[in-house]
């Protein structure tokens, strides 16, 4: 590990970062001072994220600057200035208003990364509706569940995804879903019955829109996340979160107004919305969006040709790039890159150093969650990087390592290096306000004024936090959070499956792969054909992002005496690890 190189690289940082003195920023910190950077709606009408992200710049001398550069899959480029973004989002706000969409109504988008997605997000925020992104690689079941829980009133999607995800068939089960707006991305001109044409509506709508009064606590974003059990959880975020999106954009990612910023995450996940839509615009930068999926050469070319200066990506992508070798990036001029950051899963120290040696800059790991609404812990530009560590809490954020006590409280662990649950003292502006319709489940995440993250971590003697693992069974695969329960539920739909247990199995690139274990109903025998049929069903229902990659038959799955599948034990056996406490295992009377 070349730790010296990393310290030197920070001294070489070419400009003064926004946050340049960590101890002083911690001492002087106030959320009110951060909020003062936001403008607020005219005439004291409150706070609206879309106004802060776009309209405020459109009205300023920055109005003519590049806000969004979209790179299409087959080489198209479309540019939008802040003024144009204001216009398109105004139009979409009017489309929604004309459809009778009201404050608090849920507007879903499942589109892939195309410009209309960005107009949809901003337009929905402008009218006070709630923007809810869905990942385009979700299959019909995750889509249905999320539309149902959020009572989606409007769904914006593309003609291709509408067909592929069989949305027409879901409709009968979704009484709240009143409008489906279709983006005809191939310009086929073919109308789909029961839907409306997004582009025609946009064109017909007025480009003038006045954002109605918005309270900072009004619901703005709904992001679904996964738990170990139960249905997906709809994390409710409010307009006040804009302060955090802005602050972390500046203080962690060091996005400055002259930057070209590229976040590779899809807006179907929280990173792709917070940092792929909102934060760069809140910071007044040019936001680069690539429609295409991962492709090493295309990515390096994009970094070079688009002169990306700040880049936010994920460990799986970095590990893939590393696999393509060091020669490829050396063919490109990456000298404009100033700041590289990573999120979503543990970033291995080799990847941090590889960034330094091969791309010219180290990767700065950052930690946060759907629930926190913004980055909480990071290797900030002003701090030396400890490769392998998530970094230190942001000024204004109070983190702790705790142990849960028997009576619902917590106990701090003050000893450096000791493992416990990562907790955050409540008080930052973007903490999700509840899980939609599941306030009890939400309240279970809190004790003694702290939000309990469900992650296990350690803090070292220098105050850096190190990720240890999840405290629950939730799976992170290629940066996507997956509920084993959601996968098991679909496996159980197969007529031959009696029981299902799903675990994350280590993988050198994706971190973890979803692996399923099933036992069969009497009259069914394991076979290659059946294995393929069950995996095929799962893929069709769940989509490629969620479906298991591997499936193993077992005569009986290990269960507790109350009948719960012991995923922990399936995992220990799969990995050849100690089986731990087996006192609750069914059939174990000891």
Nearer to ligand 6R9, 120 or 366 (CB): 366
8 Å CB contact between 393 and 366: no
Per CB under 6 A, the segment of 6-14, 177-185, 209-217, 264-272 that binds ligand 6R9 is 264-272
Nearer to ligand 6R9, 185 or 365 (CB): 365
Distance CA 25, CA 19 (A): 7
Nearer to ligand 6R9, 157 or 366 (CB): 366
8 Å CB contact between 352 and 385: yes
Q: Which residue is nearest to ligand 6R9 (CB)?
A: 370
* Segment (H or E) for 416: none
| Token code pair at residue 168 | 């027409």
Q: Smallest distance from the beta carbon of 53 to ligand 6R9, in angstroms? A: 19
Stretch 355-394 residues interacting with ligand 6R9 (CB under 6 A):
365-370, 390
Nearer to ligand 6R9, 252 or 520 (CB): 252
Q: Where are the beta strands (DSSP E) in 122-252?
A: 130-133, 154-158, 179-183, 196-197, 219-225, 233-238
Q: What is the DSSP string of 41-73?
A: -GGG-B--HHIIIIIHHHTSGGGGSEEEEEE-T
Stretch 434-473 residues interacting with ligand 6R9 (CB under 6 A):
453, 455, 467, 470
Stretch 59-88 residues interacting with ligand 6R9 (CB under 6 A):
none
Distance CA 77, CA 434 (A): 39
Looking at the DSSP assignment, which residues form a beta bridge with residue 516? 502, 551
Among 476, 541, 567, 571, which residue interacts with ligand 6R9 (rule: CB under 6 A)? 476
Looking at the DSSP assignment, which residues form a beta bridge with residue 513? 505
Q: Smallest distance from the beta carbon of 263 to ligand 6R9, in angstroms? A: 11
8 Å CB contact between 186 and 159: yes
Q: 3-state class of 476 per DSSP? A: strand
Per CB under 6 A, the segment of 185-193, 320-328, 343-351, 563-571 that binds ligand 6R9 is 343-351
Distance CA 488, CA 349 (A): 34
Nearer to ligand 6R9, 96 or 343 (CB): 343
Strand 511-520, strand 550-553: pairing = parallel
Comparing C-alpha atoms, which of 25, 118, 45, 52 is closest to residue 80? 118
Stretch 207-236 residues interacting with ligand 6R9 (CB under 6 A):
225
Among 154, 221, 270, 337, which residue interacts with ligand 6R9 (rule: CB under 6 A)? 270
- Please calculate the CA angle 374-157-282 and round it to the nearest 5 degrees: 30
Nearer to ligand 6R9, 299 or 367 (CB): 367
Counting contacts by CB under 6 A, is residue 346 touching ligand 6R9?
yes
Per CB under 6 A, the segment of 196-204, 337-345, 526-534, 571-579 that binds ligand 6R9 is 337-345
Q: Smallest distance from the beta carbon of 224 to ligand 6R9, in angstroms? A: 10
8 Å CB contact between 130 and 124: yes
Phi then psi dihedrals of residue 351, to 5 deg: -70, -35
Q: Smallest distance from the beta carbon of 426 to ligand 6R9, in angstroms? A: 17
Q: Smallest distance from the beta carbon of 132 to ligand 6R9, in angstroms? A: 15
8 Å CB contact between 81 and 65: yes
How many residues at the interface with ligand 6R9, by CB under 6 A?
21
* Segment (H or E) for 462: none
8 Å CB contact between 545 and 138: yes
Q: Smallest distance from the beta carbon of 367 to ligand 6R9, in angstroms? A: 4
Q: Smallest distance from the beta carbon of 86 to ligand 6R9, in angstroms? A: 28
Among 90, 136, 271, 477, which residue interacts with ligand 6R9 (rule: CB under 6 A)? 271
Counting contacts by CB under 6 A, is residue 352 touching ligand 6R9?
no
User: Other CB atoms closer than 10 Å to residue 169's CB: what's the count?
Assistant: 10
8 Å CB contact between 418 and 402: no
Q: Smallest distance from the beta carbon of 475 to ligand 6R9, in angstroms? A: 10
Counting contacts by CB under 6 A, is residue 345 touching ligand 6R9?
yes
Counting contacts by CB under 6 A, is residue 195 touching ligand 6R9?
no
Among 96, 134, 156, 481, which residue interacts with ligand 6R9 (rule: CB under 6 A)? 481
Nearer to ligand 6R9, 46 or 249 (CB): 249
How far apart, in Å, are the Cα atoms of 40 and each of 67, 118, 213, 241, 585? 20, 21, 10, 13, 57
Stretch 273-332 residues interacting with ligand 6R9 (CB under 6 A):
none
Q: Which residues bind ligand 6R9 (CB under 6 A)?
A: 225, 269-271, 343-346, 365-370, 390, 453, 455, 467, 470, 476, 481
């Amino acid at each position: 590990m070349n730790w010296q190189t990393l310290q030197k690289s920070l001294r070489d940082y070419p400009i003064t970062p926004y946050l340049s003195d960590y101890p002083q920023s911690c001492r002087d910190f106030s959320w009110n001072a951060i909020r003062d950077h936001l403008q607020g709606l005219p005439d004291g009408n409150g706070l609206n994220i879309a106004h802060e992200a776009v309209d405020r710049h459109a009205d300023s001398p920055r109005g003519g600057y590049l806000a969004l550069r979209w790179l299409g899959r087959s080489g198209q480029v479309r540019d939008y200035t802040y003024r144009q973004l204001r216009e398109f989002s105004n139009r979409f706000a009017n489309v929604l208003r004309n459809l009778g969409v009201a404050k608090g109504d849920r507007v879903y988008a499942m589109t892939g990364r195309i410009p209309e997605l960005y107009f949809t997000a901003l337009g929905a925020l402008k009218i006070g509706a709630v923007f809810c992104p869905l990942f385009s690689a979700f299959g019909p079941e995750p889509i249905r569940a999320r539309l149902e829980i959020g009572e989606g009133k409007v769904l914006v999607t593309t003609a291709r995804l509408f067909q592929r995800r069989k949305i027409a068939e879901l409709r009968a089960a979704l009484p709240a879903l009143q409008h489906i707006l279709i983006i005809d991305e191939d310009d086929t001109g073919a109308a789909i019955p029961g839907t409306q044409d997004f582009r025609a509506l946009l064109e017909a709508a007025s480009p003038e829109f006045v954002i109605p009064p918005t309270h900072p606590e009004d619901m703005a974003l709904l992001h679904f996340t996964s738990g170990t059990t139960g249905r997906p959880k709809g994390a409710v975020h409010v307009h006040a979160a804009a302060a955090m999106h802005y602050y972390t954009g500046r203080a962690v990612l060091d996005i400055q107004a002259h930057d070209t910023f590229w976040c590779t995450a899809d807006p179907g996940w929280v990173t792709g919305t917070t940092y792929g839509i909102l934060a760069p615009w809140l910071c007044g930068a040019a936001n680069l969006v690539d429609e295409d999926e991962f492709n090493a050469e295309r990515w390096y070319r994009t970094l070079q040709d688009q002169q990306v200066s700040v880049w936010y990506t994920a460990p799986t992508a970095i590990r893939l790039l590393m696999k393509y070798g060091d020669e490829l990036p050396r063919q490109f001029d990456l000298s404009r890159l100033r700041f590289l950051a990573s999120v979503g899963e543990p970033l291995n120290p080799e990847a941090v150093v590889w960034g330094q040696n091969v791309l010219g800059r180290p990767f700065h790991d950052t930690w946060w969650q759907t629930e926190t609404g913004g980055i909480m812990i990071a290797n900030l530009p002003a701090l030396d990087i400890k490769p392998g560590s998530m970094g230190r809490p942001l000024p204004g954020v109070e983190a702790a390592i705790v142990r849960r006590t028997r009576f619902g409280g917590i106990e701090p662990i003050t000893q450096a290096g000791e493992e416990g649950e990562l907790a955050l003292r409540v008080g930052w502006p973007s903490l999700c306000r509840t899980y939609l319709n599941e306030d009890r489940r939400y309240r279970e995440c809190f004790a003694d004024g702290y939000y309990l993250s469900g992650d296990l971590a350690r803090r070292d003697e220098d105050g850096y936090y190190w990720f240890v693992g999840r405290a629950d069974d939730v799976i992170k695969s290629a940066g996507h959070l997956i509920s084993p329960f959601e996968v098991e539920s679909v496996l159980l739909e197969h007529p031959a499956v009696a029981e299902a247990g799903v675990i994350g199995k280590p993988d050198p690139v994706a971190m973890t792969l979803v692996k399923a274990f099933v036992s069969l109903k009497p009259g069914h025998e394991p076979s290659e054909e059946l294995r393929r049929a069950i995996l095929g069903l799962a893929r069709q229902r769940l989509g490629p992002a969620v479906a298991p990659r591997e499936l193993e038959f077992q005569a009986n799955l290990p269960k507790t005496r109350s009948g719960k599948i012991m995923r922990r034990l399936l995992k220990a056996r799969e990995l050849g690890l100690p089986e731990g406490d087996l006192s609750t295992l069914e059939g174990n009377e000891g």
